[in-house]
Amino acid sequence: MKILQAMAQYPGKTGSGTYLQAIAKEAHKRGHKQAVIAGISMENEEVEFKDCADIIFYPVVFNTENLPFPIVGMSDVMPYKSTRYSDMNEEMFILWENAFKEKIELALKEFKPDIIITHHLWLLTSLIRNMAPNIPVMTICHGTDLRQLELTEKFREYAVDGCKNIDAAFALNDLQREKIIQSFNICEDKVITIGGGYDSDIFYPKDKASLKGNIKLIYAGKLSYAKGTMSLIKVFQRVRKKYEDVELIIAGSGSGEEEQIMKQVNKAEDGIHFLGEVPHEELGNLFRECDIFIMPSFYEGLSLVTIEALACGLSVVASEITGLKNWLGDEVNDSGIISYVKLPSMLKVDKPKESELPHYEGSLERAILEQLVNLDEKKNQFIGISKIVQELSWSNIFEKIEENIYKIYK
């Protein structure tokens, strides 16, 4: 089978980029031939597809004469310099569309895919569906696409025009599945919940006989207000006054206004360690050095990094993201290894009401303290849910995708 994957942004560094890389790795294991269309920031930028050296890459290069602006990101804040869809004018959009059209035409002519897997129910998927009407197109929804439908009205019609005609849409959870059906008027039979996973070669638990040294909390992800990073820093400073042997590790990067978060980290009291962006293959080792993962985000499609942390045996404190709770299921949610924090009311899909932030931050602090108190029991808690977590590996996720590929292709 010849599989072409397509993504309008960088194939890595974000949750959707991790998803693309994971699918590529699993497809390679099963002997599929592959090609990828994706955006990169500059000429000769190195893009590595882990364990998949035979992938044919068709890069769309931004910051060039023909495309003179940064990659357009699905989130308003990306871990690299980016352009927001809401800031694209008609001239920029035409340049963007022409650049991707060129690579799509080239890939269709040279690679001749049997099936196309796109990422995000958004502009690129619509463009590909209309350019390749006779090739099956399957799309993975990552949540940020549904958010763009709300935030960027001017592109709604363009996105829906092609996306409504795709052959299958994969949802991260059942609630997202219902929203896809409603937003794009796609037949229910074509929308399948498959969730997200983790790389079991990278994320696995370390057998600790006992906890030694300082207790380490960790956040990994984009540094942005929507991710709750500022609230986490504020709350940790209060926790530190009660537990002097607690450290906070922050792994990630931001851009634009969000750089203020990095400055805040650098000014913070002792106990906070800012590592910047950590390569994905090293994140598992970092997790195994830590004790509690914190995910204070105000919006997530699923939060793959939380699943990765669970796979490494960490206790978790997470915002009450409906998709995550739905996907993990009652046995994990009720195990005690994860504490959820009720979200504040939102002005926008990822912007909380300022007046409710103190209450949210108080709840976040209590949840962290709860996990700190129960830390000695976490090994037994993890043993109880380890088999469930193992079922969330990328190998199992790709099996579901592959089953649907063959149903559609035949």
**Which of 109-118, 224-233, 251-260, 327-336 has the weakest average pLDDT?**
251-260
- The amino acid occupying position 32 is H
In the DSSP assignment, the letter for residue 255 is -
What confidence tens digit (pLDDT) does each residue in 236-266 have? 999 999 988 999 999 987 766 666 666 666 6
CA-nearest of 372, 340, 360, 338 to 240 is 372
pLDDT at 65: 92
Count of C-beta atoms within a 10 Å radius of residue 104? 21
pLDDT at 43: 75
- The amino acid occupying position 373 is V
β-partners of residue 248 are 217, 272
- Same fold for the domain at 2-197+393-409 and the one at 215-390? yes
CA-nearest of 48, 35, 40 to 5 is 35
pLDDT at 263: 62
Neighbouring C-alpha atoms within 13 Å toward the C-beta of 224: 21
Which is higher by pLDDT, 324 or 58?
58
- Is the domain spanning 2-197+393-409 CATH 3.30.413.10? The answer is no
pLDDT at 212: 60
* Mean per-residue pLDDT, 201-206: 88
CA-nearest of 345, 322, 336 to 367 is 336
3-state secondary structure of 393: strand
What confidence tens digit (pLDDT) does each residue in 79-108 have? 888 999 999 999 999 999 999 999 999 999
Whether 35 contacts 5, CB under 8 Å: yes
Residues with Cβ within 8 Å of residue 181, at least 6 apart in sequence: 188, 191
> How far apart are alpha carbons 106 and 276 in whole angstroms?
37
171: enclosing H helix or E strand: strand 168-171
Tokens 């009660």, located at residue: 242
Domain boundaries, the chain: 2-197+393-409, 215-390
Percentage of the chain exceeding pLDDT 70:
92
Structure tokens that stand for 333 in this block: 């949610």
pLDDT at 210: 47
Mean of pLDDT over the chain: 89
pLDDT at 215: 92
Classify domain 215-390 at the CATH topology level: Rossmann fold (3.40.50)
CA-nearest of 214, 365, 222 to 290 is 214
What confidence tens digit (pLDDT) does each residue in 36-83 have? 999 999 877 888 887 787 899 999 999 999 999 999 999 877 888 899
- The amino acid occupying position 185 is N
pLDDT at 393: 85
pLDDT at 380 over 70: no
What confidence tens digit (pLDDT) does each residue in 357-371 have? 999 999 999 999 999
Whether 388 contacts 329, CB under 8 Å: yes
Percentage of the chain exceeding pLDDT 90:
61
Structure tokens that stand for 142 in this block: 């990552």
pLDDT at 8 over 90: yes
> How far apart are alpha carbons 180 and 316 in whole angstroms?
29
pLDDT at 410 over 70: no
* Mean per-residue pLDDT, 385-400: 85
Tokens 């006779």, located at residue: 134
What confidence tens digit (pLDDT) does each residue in 130-168 have? 999 999 999 999 989 998 998 899 999 999 999 999 999
